[in-house]
Amino acid sequence: MEEEAKGAEPEAAAPVPAAEDGVKVVVQGLTVAVEEIAAISEFRNAYKKQFCNLSRRIKLLAPMLEDLKESKVPIPEKAVETLAPLKEALDSAKELLRLGSEGSKFFLVLERDSIMKRFQQVTSQLEQALAGISLEDLDISDEVREQVELVHSQFKRAKERVDTSDTELFDDLLTVYSSNNDANLDPALLRRLAEKLQLITISDLKQESLSLHEMAVNSGGDPGKIIERMSMLLKKIKDFMQTQDLEMGSPTNPKAPPPIGKSRSPVIPDDFRCPISLELMKDPVIVATGQTYERVCIEKWLEAGHDTCPKTQQRLSSTSLTPNFVLRSLIAQWCEENGVEPPKRPVNPNKTPSPCSASEHAKIIELLQKLLSQNLEDQRSAAGELRLLAKRNAENRACIAEAGAIPLLVSLLSTLDVRTQEHAVTALLNLSIYEENKGRIIISGAVPGIVQVLKRGSMEARENAAATLFSLSVVDANKVTIGGSGAIPPLVSLLHNGSQRGKKDAATALFNLCIFQGNKGKAVRAGAIPILMELLSQPEEGMVDEALAILAILSSHPEGKAAIGAATAIPVLVEVIRSGSPRNKENAAAVLVHLCNGEHQHQHLAEAQEQGVISLLQELAQSGTDRGKRKAIQLLERMNRFLEQQKQAQADAHAHGHVQGQAQAQAQSQANIEQ
């Protein structure tokens, strides 16, 4: 195609169709944005009026876009330029409306000032965008023009008017939150909150819990504090609902008061509740950070594309789940003691997601046909839509894979179009979250293509290629495949010169891959150790946790230990044990354990002693993590043996010197006698 374009000078009119295509893309983008906004419904009570008004006004713009799509008259370039700000304004409105539909009810109330400010910003943005459109240059009917002018005037009035939120609801929430004694809370206040926020049934409460966790990840500030604050509020309301013995979830009477004289249900201990659903756990499992969750809830969290611990917001080094048998036994014992029926574990916790509907399946098939098209725009848009669909839920991931999308997406990894490549690799990342798809992606031969993207793609593509390799490497057999595909050197390169997110993705992938012994030497030979040491010396980069975790793994390999020793790491590691976080102290001690064993152990022990490590290890042995305590005790034992050997060597040297001195004195005395 490029050669034809270069040689086709007589056809000077070629740019015109391209310009017309550009106009179609702009109009189509606006149409899709309005359709997506129209599909958002079920807004939260706190701002229902404002959300509904915003949505209704935007939907009134649809006839204008329909007229433009059907028009045979070319739109002037100047008029097209005036439409561009409208797309940005619609995207901002869509984001706000999704927050109003899917966001946490608590968040929407407690963050009322920022929410109202966003309403003002979006309203102003839409008003300015509509004011800038040259309606007289557009081929639309008079009725449609008048309707658009009406919408513009409505936004203009709304921009000048400041709406107020429900002050009573806000004050009630703050009262409950600030109360230190739940027993003194007014039941009428709690009931009013539950009814206003529509948190009556178990389903309502569970949805709110999931929403606030999702909000915490996507919001600014400290996500951990947000989760803690919201969860505390939700727990108080749920405890009230349970102690009042309401018929939660009853479709006939969800607000029925408790029968007179009926005993209250026992309050579930916090440790027995899932931090996500706040319900008594049936099948508690432990994640990589040590936190425990209900299996079904944490699996949904992971399938939604998250790679962090919901409670601590730490990055999960692995998505494996370990059954918490001890807690399960304690829950069963508590149930027996309190006359509560023990929760029954699901028969098949890894059930297959329900199949998608016929319309959804048809939509996916249509997108796959576009992937097969020779039209680059079709490929790009289809890959982008599949990327978004695969991000939403497990059902979509299963349907997309079963429809045969994976090989088609893999074939697009080699495209020269940057955006299409980004969409393709990110779609594979989202599909890989569903466990069965990991094998499908490997079998399709995707790994070499992903590695090429990791080497030569845009920064976004490289980030998501690294994240995809991490997701696939959760399966142990895949660690071997990925390590043998040449993935480790470009991961090390991304760790060195990538964006902040790129470095994080590269680090998690390297950590997982290097659990397999055969990949450790490859990482060392790719130059990982100097880069990790550099990250340790740059705490402002925010990579200390990851760097230490990888060093702890690589130090167990002979080449890794030698490279770390050659990098003069002892002072840095001792400083981490002195002032690092508990997890970092643990990993620094683990690295020292490996360094202080074998050929150069005396050299490293002596250097560590000079840096003042002994008192730090004694403190770590008392107050560190369980693993940190074990490592500290091991090091102290080696240090004590080393000091004893030094003392013995000094004593032997002293004794040897004393004997030599006596022998010399006797020899001198004998010489004097002979004289």
Q: Give Dmax over CA atoms of the chain in angstroms.
A: 137
161-196 b/e with 16+ CB inside 10 Å = b?
eeeebeeebeebbeebeeeeeeeebeeebbbebbeb
Rounded to whole angstroms, how far apart are CA atoms 64 and 117? 29
pLDDT in tens, 294-334: 888 898 888 877 888 887 778 887 787 777 765 776 777 67
Rounded to whole angstroms, how far apart are CA atoms 485 and 93? 44
Concatenate the DSSP letters of all residues of 59-96 into one string: HTTHHHHHHHHH--SPPPHHHHHHHHHHHHHHHHHHHH
Give the DSSP H/E element, type plus range, for residue 568.
none
Rounded to whole angstroms, how far apart are CA atoms 77 and 84? 11
Rounded to whole angstroms, how far apart are CA atoms 455 and 502? 12
CB 311 within 8 A of CB 291: yes
pTM of the model: 0.50
Concatenate the DSSP letters of all residues of 371-392 into one string: HTSS-HHHHHHHHHHHHHHHHH
- In which residue ranges of the chain is pLDDT below 70? 1-22, 44-46, 162-166, 173-174, 177-185, 201-203, 206, 210, 212-232, 239-265, 325-326, 329, 333, 336-337, 344-356, 652, 654-663, 665, 667-675
Residue in the structure block whose two tokens are 């490590």: 613
Rounded to whole angstroms, how far apart are CA atoms 170 and 361? 43
How wide is the angle at C-alpha 11 spanned by C-alphas 7 and 15, nearest 5°?
A: 105
Residue 11 main-chain phi, psi, to 5 deg = -85, 70
Rounded to whole angstroms, how far apart are CA atoms 201 and 222? 29
| Amino acid occupying residue 610 | E
Kindly give the residue spans of alpha helices, DSSP state H, lying in 473-527.
Answer: 476-483, 488-497, 500-513, 517-525
pLDDT of residue 109: 76
Concatenate the DSSP letters of all residues of 410-455 into one string: HHGGG-S-HHHHHHHHHHHHHHHTSHHHHHHHHHTTHHHHHHHHHH
- For the record, the structure tokens of 602 come out as 């005396």
Under 8 Å CB-to-CB from 296, ≥6 apart: which residues? 283, 346, 349
Rounded to whole angstroms, how far apart are CA atoms 480 and 472? 11
Strand 292-294 versus strand 322-323 pairing type:
unpaired
pLDDT in tens, 519-553: 999 999 999 999 999 999 888 888 898 999 999 98
Rounded to whole angstroms, how far apart are CA atoms 104 and 215? 7
Rounded to whole angstroms, how far apart are CA atoms 539 and 541? 5
Is the Cα dihedral 359, 360, 361, 362 positive or negative?
A: positive
